[in-house]
Amino acid sequence: MSNELLINVTKQECRVALLEGGQVVEFYIERKGDASFVGNIYKGRVVKVLKGMQACFIDIGLDKAAFLYVDDIRGGIKELYPFLEGDEETEFISKLDFKDASIEELVQQGQEILVQVAKDPIGTKGARVTSRITLPGRYVVLMPGMEHIGVSRKIEDEEKRKQLKELATKIKPTGFGLIMRTVSEDASEEEIKRDIDFLLLLWDNIQKKKDKVHAPSLIHSEFDLVLRSLRDFMNQNVDRLIIDNYNEWIRLKEFAQIYFPRIADKIELFEGDEPIFDAFGVEVDLDRSLERKVWLKSGGYIVIDQTEAMTVIDVNTGKFVGKENLEDTILRTNLEAVKEIAYQIRLRNLGGIILIDFIDMEKDENKQKVINAMAEAMKKDRAKTTIYNITDLGIVQMTRKRTRESLEHILCDSCPYCEGKGRVKSAKTVAYEVLRKLKFMTLQEGTEITVILNPQVADLLTDEERDSLEEIENSKKIRITIKKDSSLHRENYSIYKNPPSIE
């Protein structure tokens, strides 16, 4: 089956789903007024130096001060580890200035400094920033002030790696480092040069703006989710990008024709009668990704619990009893669970420490089979992961790079009905779901619609999203009435045509 990148754009949010063989493997969402800060460049001011932590807080104009660790000043190269080869890492870091300098030698309170957001604010933590700026293009990453050349580790062909490194050496601008991204493998020299020219112009504009403003100020905004999706996901493995918004389709086509002409023909406008995510079965996968228990085809199941410090995944045989001996039944369940766990980690964007409690196995060879299967299953993941050997208790410990909130934390709030012990969809998520359904309902002119909702969702629709309701009413020539029912769970609602009278 083909691989597709689906983009759903509405007035309220942009949602992106990457499908491999018809199954959603990655999901991204950017809501109005709630966009990611990763990649943004700020002129910040040092507000506090923490000698004991070898870090400092930087005011970049956000609600919470950003956190700058000493290594992100001395090196700032951790974000680029996936691109570097073995000993290159050590060699590169050893060449950087201030290798042994302490935080108090590098920055002082009140100092203005140019920084780039590496991780979004998560929970109570402010953004993580670095002073080593990187500018990602489609084919290369440009690194001002770093004399280094690297090739993406995902390019495994040694001959191709050598060719790309030679090309990078030939075209690298003086005073800049250059990393060849995975998609550069199939790019021409002309395309790569065009990418570098664009990034050099961008850097020149950043430098000019930096000298004209005082901290804290935003100097450069990363592309929005629509353009980032085109730049970062449209590689040789993705057959087409399908978007359901005409204006954004035009913008994507124009952007691609200027900077990435080779993929412009892969961009399609979705004109189906039902919502794009429904047509491709994405909504079903997203709903499943919010469930605590996930069933396996054999009858076994996994349970996923997220805490502040880590994620714990438990594997159970469930209804699966097998046909052979107990050890074989356990091994088969564990191996089946491996595939589902790898899929759920990627889809839910689980990060940090992850503990997987597999069913206990007696044979060491079976334990190794599970570890090997887990490592193989995680190869497609774009995030950096480290998997440790299975313990005597049958637990696999792994870490996965965390750069943004998990899917559950983005789409859900702590449940007010169980005092935070569970999760429910946020009022915004439910309100937008109602708006999508109203927009795609087949209705005759003059039809009267009544929507009965939880008061929180109803208030959101009649206040912040009143314009969206009126837009649907005017386009379909119908009348929509919103009614509150305090007895309704936040996720539940009813939509009636010519509804019965309600007390």
The predicted-structure confidence for 158-199, as pLDDT tens digits, reads as follows: 899 999 999 999 999 999 999 999 888 888 888 899 889 989
pLDDT tier for residue 88 given thresholds of 50, 70 and 90 = very low
Residues with Cβ < 8 Å from 325, sequence gap 6 or more?
none
Q: Is the pLDDT of residue 46 over 90?
A: yes
- Rounded CA-CA distance 162/147 in Å is 18
Q: Is the pLDDT of residue 95 over 80?
A: no
* pLDDT reported for residue 32: 81
pLDDT tier for residue 94 given thresholds of 50, 70 and 90 = very low
* pLDDT reported for residue 91: 40
Q: Is the pLDDT of residue 469 over 50?
A: yes
Given a contact cutoff of 8 angstroms between Cβ atoms, the answer to whether 110 and 48 are in contact is: no
* pLDDT: which is higher, 424 or 301: 301
Q: What is the mean pLDDT of residues 152-159?
A: 85
Least confident of 30-34, 134-138, 406-410: 30-34
**Is residue 122 helix, strand or coil?**
strand
* pLDDT reported for residue 15: 95
* pLDDT reported for residue 488: 92
* pLDDT: which is higher, 418 or 99: 418
Q: pLDDT digits over 248-298, tens only? A: 999 999 988 887 888 899 999 999 889 999 999 999 989 888 899 999 988
Strands 412-414 and 176-180: unpaired
Tokens of 363: 């044979």
Q: Could you tell me where the DSSP H helices lie in 211-325?
A: 225-233, 246-259, 276-279, 282-289
> Residues 156, 255, 23, CA angle at the centre, nearest 5°?
55
User: Which has the closest alpha carbon to 359: 395, 409, 309?
Assistant: 395
Which residue's structure tokens are 């669970």? Answer: 337
- Rounded CA-CA distance 408/421 in Å is 14
> Residues 27, 30, 35, CA angle at the centre, nearest 5°?
135
pLDDT tier for residue 486 given thresholds of 50, 70 and 90 = very high
Q: Is the pLDDT of residue 334 over 60?
A: yes
Q: Is the pLDDT of residue 87 over 60?
A: no
* pLDDT reported for residue 244: 95
pTM of the model: 0.74
Task: For 458, list phi and psi in degrees, rounded to 5.
Answer: -60, -45
* pLDDT reported for residue 82: 40
- Rounded CA-CA distance 313/424 in Å is 20
* pLDDT: which is higher, 240 or 104: 240
Mean pLDDT is highest, among 86-95, 229-238, 243-252, for 243-252
Mean pLDDT of the chain: 86
* pLDDT reported for residue 77: 42
Tokens of 59: 């005011």
* pLDDT: which is higher, 154 or 226: 226
Tokens of 274: 């039902």
pLDDT tier for residue 322 given thresholds of 50, 70 and 90 = low
What is the CATH code of the structural domain delimited by 41-220?
Answer: 2.40.50.140
**Is residue 37 helix, strand or coil?**
coil
* pLDDT reported for residue 484: 95
pLDDT tier for residue 74 given thresholds of 50, 70 and 90 = low
- Burial (Cβ within 10 Å: 0-12, 13-18, ≥19) of residue 77: buried
CATH number of 429-497: 1.10.3480.10, 3.10.20.440, 3.40.50.300, 3.40.1260.20?
3.40.1260.20
* pLDDT reported for residue 81: 40
**% of the chain beyond a pLDDT of 70:** 91
Q: What is the mean pLDDT of residues 61-67?
A: 92
Q: What kind and span of H or E run contains 269?
A: strand 267-269
Q: What is the mean pLDDT of residues 78-107?
A: 52
User: Which has the closest alpha carbon to 302: 386, 396, 403?
Assistant: 396
Given a contact cutoff of 8 angstroms between Cβ atoms, the answer to whether 348 and 408 are in contact is: yes
Residues with Cβ < 8 Å from 45, sequence gap 6 or more?
58, 59, 110, 111, 112, 113, 215, 216
Q: Thinking of the domain 4-34+227-283, which architecture would CATH place it in? A: 2-Layer Sandwich (3.30)
Q: What is the mean pLDDT of residues 340-367?
A: 92
pLDDT tier for residue 36 given thresholds of 50, 70 and 90 = confident
* pLDDT reported for residue 105: 84
Q: What kind and span of H or E run contains 418?
A: none
